[in-house]
A and B are shown apart, each in its own frame.
Chain A
């Protein structure tokens, strides 16, 4: 089966750096995706890691370690608009989402 675990909530201040972790248990794992969802909105795609290492996209970076069954999303230079829920996702067999992490950014 597929399962992904995330911390339920993370808080930070504007301008800071925050890391959102994701641990997974999937047989034949392909890769890890990250999605952002603002309150009342639909999820939107942020990034995908198929290989170990860091992928950088602007202020957001995503990391994967297959040997540790672990990944994270790194958000730099936090802005108020980054307050949202963040989900890791596994597309190995069917698209399954993690439990989600609510990020609150304070001024």
Chain B
């Protein structure tokens, strides 16, 4: 049982380049999330999807777009990367109901130079 799988694990981009971070979960969860975590900081929600076909902005959505491709997959796209987007990105998923725990992917370490 793989849980939540993110790709890639590491990425270096030049300013202005674009890329898509992929996330897939195999737990049949409805909700999926993208977070960024800067050094020594907490997890800030970028976008989330409460169910297939829906997406909503989180705390820091500017500069990002998302796609909930199907129930399993939720991708995050940076259209024109900026140094301020250098961070560790985590994808997470959770089942229906507010008490269900969230499961996280292993993270993507992104550096924009």
What's the least CB distance linking B21 to chain A, in Å?
Answer: 14
What's the least CB distance linking B93 to chain A, in Å?
Answer: 10
* Contact status A48-B90, CB under 8 Å: no
Residue total for A at the interface (Cβ-Cβ under 8 A): 23
Contact of B101 among A30, A33, A42 (CB under 8 A): A33
Interface segment among B41-49, B63-71, B72-80: the answer is: B41-49
Main secondary structure, interface of A, reads loop
- Find chain A residues with CB under 8 A from B25 CB: none
- Find chain A residues with CB under 8 A from B94 CB: 91, 95
Residue total for B at the interface (Cβ-Cβ under 8 A): 25
* Contact status B90-A95, CB under 8 Å: no
* Contact status B98-A44, CB under 8 Å: no
Asked if A81 is an interface residue, CB under 8 A from chain B, the answer is no
- Find chain A residues with CB under 8 A from B102 CB: 33, 35, 43, 45, 89, 95
- Find chain A residues with CB under 8 A from B59 CB: 96
What's the least CB distance linking A45 to chain B, in Å?
Answer: 4
Contact of A42 among B44, B56, B107 (CB under 8 A): B107
Contact of B98 among A31, A100, A102 (CB under 8 A): A31
